Amino acid sequence: MRTKGILLAMALSVASFGAAAQDIGVGLIVPLSAPGDATGGQLIRRGAEIGIEMVNAQGGVLGKKMQLFVQDSQGKPEAGVAAYRRLVSENKVVAVPGFFHSSVSIAVNEVAKDMGVPTLAVQASASDITAKHYDIAFRTHVVDPVRVETWMTFIKQKGFKRVSLIAETTDYGIGLADETLAQAKKMGGIEVQKVMFDRTVTDLTPQLLQVKAFKPDMVINIGVGQPLDLIMDQATTIGLLPNTPMLISYDAPTRPQFWQLHEKNGNGIYFIAYYSPKSKLSDIGDQFAKAYKEKYKEDPVYGALNGFGAVMILAQAIKAGNSADPKTLIKTLESGTYKSWPDAPVTFPKADGVYWHNWVPPVLILHYTAAKQDWKDAEVTVTYSKK
Amino acid sequence: MYSTELVVQTFISGVMIGVLYALMALGITFIYSIMRMINWAMGEFYMIGSYLQYMLVAWLLGPDLWWLAILVATAGVFGLGLLTEWSLLKPISSKAAEVRSDYATVITLALLLMLRSLATGIAGPNQFTPGSNLPIVMVGPMPMAGARVAAFVFALVALGVFWAVLRYTWYGLALRATAQSRVGVQTAGIDVLRVDRVAFGIGVALAGLAGALLAPVFLVFPTNGLVTTVKGFEIVVIGGLGSIPGALIAGVLLGLIESFGAAFIDSAYQNIYGFVLVLLVLVLRPTGLFGERGREA
């Protein structure tokens, strides 16, 4: 009986390694549980999965199927690094897209630069992800300076003079807070209050009382996932919201869960977004949007689009380089032009500073003007493109 | 530099969260005092309480009957506690006393992982809120969510009832006697295993009650019990393991230290202030503020 069991286990493991050897493995590191932004991770995962299905439905790449290996980073750098090692060592993946939390992306890149398998950050914006100019580091997302330039444009447009930042003590929060202080100093005439918090804290009342005492014209909410929602709710209870406008630093309010959580205090919120239905999609972007809507009965949001885009870019690069070798893939990504979900070519030039290997989508500030408003109907307050 | 209003508001905020912290920690210390074991899955019973509250309010009772939902959710967690004790912990009562605590640690840690994974598998990783129709209330100079004020009042009432039951009922006497001497109560004809089961049920029900009360304030998601576990153990160390008054005082002390530290020193280190207090207590009074030196027979 025991011998039979061992033989069965051996047969199964041979079968599974055999399958892996025939496919081209792509890793995906996203947060799928707290303290990470699990909803954000789930959306990227949905997009990447549909991307894999679409590539394989068209015959795969280099005559092989693509296979997605998903790992949960929990929004923690150490879990992300362990996930990357597992993907490269055990699953033999050729690239690792994903990354929602900047801290995870930065930590993984430190290991990836030695292990040699490229990473492609789709929703992590800290400068250090690409500013270190590592060969393996690629990104298709907004970087800190561009995000801050967008809200500084908004602050100027509205004539605000006192702005409070309430930011988590992560690479994302610290990076954005410091960049805002630097740009505000350069711009002049704006007083910025910086209030930081640990993202595991659930009672943010002491921080919000400080913000309220500062009497700001606007509050920038730089929380990711659960802290973002807690800040909104707790700011409402102490009378900060809706009296003071609040800007959310990323596109969380486009998610279906937003109005379930903020039915009473979501109206009037401003938020950063990277995609509006008014933006034109590429042909593959259109195909994806249809497939997504059919599968999930809702329109895709940016995270899903960018997760899909990452898989499509990698498939095109493997095909263009006629190789799934990570080193060749890096060279091909650097030199080629790729099609993703937006109606604009995607490139990863060896550019200066933070723009190294970085394609930046246009950034928008959207505004909910009614309760339970569909994000597609939100008012577009600012559209900013990096020149 | 800082206004009196900010100081008063910070004080109110600290006391309110402190009482809720105390409720979270009370179950841990109560179970330890009776059963001489630490329940590492306490946060997961908080999580279950919050999910039950969400389901009852969102699907069955509606936001106006939130108070009924809290009672039902707490009773549900109490029932689950009885079942857990009977199925997982009672079997280890036959083991030697010195290894019983080790077995309990392994079992409750496994339970923690299982319940957390189960919640993620069933409800997904997303956050939920049962919502609340309670209006914002002025507490002194500070506006506060009706749900948070209700949680505070409910917590005070629950703590009062808990104290009264322990102090004035026969069963409370049996529980206190068991905490003093498990052998002694058996000579008086009290079924210790039954007392264990009820104590475990009450202990986890306190965590479930905290979860149900705080569901509209701190949201509902699979790992929301983590704060209960972390704060709970901080409070137990500060107040003294097994000391119920110690848990209450340490809870309020922790709430105040965190609030004032975050408001007037540096908000980024809010979690650290509590740990500094824990370290100070461990150095100056290792048994906790109200703890007593243990005696091994």
Domain A2-142+280-355 sits in CATH at 3.40.50.2300
Question: What's the mean pLDDT when you consider all of chain A?
Answer: 90
- Phi/psi for B272 (5° steps) reads -70, -35
Interface test with A, best of B126, B132, B226, B257 (most A CBs within 10 A): B126
Contact residues on chain A for B227, CB-CB shorter than 8 A: 200, 202
Question: Which two tokens mark B178?
Answer: 């068991």
Question: How confident is the model over B232-256, as a mean pLDDT?
Answer: 88
CB A121 within 8 A of CB A29: no
Contact residues on chain A for B222, CB-CB shorter than 8 A: 33-34
SS3 A365: strand
Interface of B with A in 67-106 (CB under 8 A): none
- When CB atoms are compared, the residue of B126, B224, B271 closest to A257 is B126
Q: Is the pLDDT of residue A3 over 80?
A: no
CA atoms B53, B55, A208, A103: torsion sign? positive
Rounded CA-CA distance B231/A325 in Å is: 49
Q: What pLDDT, in 10s, does the model give residues A32-79?
A: 987 788 888 999 999 999 999 999 999 999 999 999 999 999 999 999
CB B202 within 8 A of CB B176: no
Collect all residues with Cβ–Cβ distance below 8 Å to A112 and sequence separation of at least 6. A84, A96, A118, A119, A134, A136, A137
Interface test with B, best of A43, A194, A205 (most B CBs within 10 A): A205
Question: Which two tokens mark B139?
Answer: 């507490």
- When CB atoms are compared, the residue of A33, A200, A203 closest to B17 is A203
Q: Do domains A2-142+280-355 and A145-273+363-384 have the same CATH topology?
A: yes
Q: How many angstroms away from the CA of B132 is the closest CA of chain A?
A: 10
Q: Is the pLDDT of residue A19 over 60?
A: no
Q: What pLDDT, in 10s, does the model give residues A150-206?
A: 999 999 999 999 999 999 998 889 999 999 999 999 999 999 999 999 988 888 999
Contact residues on chain A for B142, CB-CB shorter than 8 A: 238
Question: How confident is the model over B204-214, as a mean pLDDT?
Answer: 94
Rounded CA-CA distance A278/A344 in Å is: 14
- Phi/psi for A311 (5° steps) reads -65, -40
What sections of B36-96 are H helices per DSSP?
42-55, 66-84
CB A384 within 8 A of CB A153: yes
Q: How many angstroms away from the CA of A335 is the closest CA of chain B?
A: 39
Contact residues on chain A for B17, CB-CB shorter than 8 A: 203, 205
Q: Which among A367, A375, A315, A360 is positioned nearest to A123, based on CA atoms?
A: A360
In which element (H, E) is residue A366 found?
strand A363-367
Domain ranges of chain A: 2-142+280-355, 145-273+363-384
Question: How confident is the model over B243-268, as a mean pLDDT?
Answer: 90
Rounded CA-CA distance A172/A100 in Å is: 10
Domain A145-273+363-384 sits in CATH at 3.40.50.2300
Q: Which among A63, A60, A41 is positioned nearest to A52, based on CA atoms?
A: A60
Residue A229 to residue B125, Cβ atoms within 8 A: no
pLDDT for res A90? 95
Whether residue B44 lies within 8 A of chain A, CB to CB, comes out as: no
Q: Is the pLDDT of residue A4 over 80?
A: no
Whether residue A371 lies within 8 A of chain B, CB to CB, comes out as: no
Rounded CA-CA distance B213/A172 in Å is: 32
Q: Is the pLDDT of residue A355 over 80?
A: yes
Rounded CA-CA distance A261/B197 in Å is: 37
- When CB atoms are compared, the residue of B14, B127, B227 closest to A257 is B127
* ipTM score for this prediction: 0.82
Q: How many angstroms away from the CA of B173 is the closest CA of chain A?
A: 37
Question: How confident is the model over B62-70, as a mean pLDDT?
Answer: 92
Q: How many angstroms away from the CA of B106 is the closest CA of chain A?
A: 23
Whether residue A298 lies within 8 A of chain B, CB to CB, comes out as: no
Whether residue B142 lies within 8 A of chain A, CB to CB, comes out as: yes
Question: How confident is the model over A249-271, as a mean pLDDT?
Answer: 92
Rounded CA-CA distance B269/A200 in Å is: 11
Higher pLDDT, B2 or B159: B159
Rounded CA-CA distance B223/B220 in Å is: 9
CB neighbours (10 Å) of residue A347? 15
Whether residue A200 lies within 8 A of chain B, CB to CB, comes out as: yes
Interface of B with A in 119-138 (CB under 8 A): 120, 124-129, 131, 136
Question: Which two tokens mark B81?
Answer: 């506690």
Rounded CA-CA distance A365/A382 in Å is: 5
Q: How many angstroms away from the CA of A114 is the closest CA of chain B?
A: 33
Question: How confident is the model over B99-123, as a mean pLDDT?
Answer: 89
Q: How many angstroms away from the CA of A197 is the closest CA of chain B?
A: 4
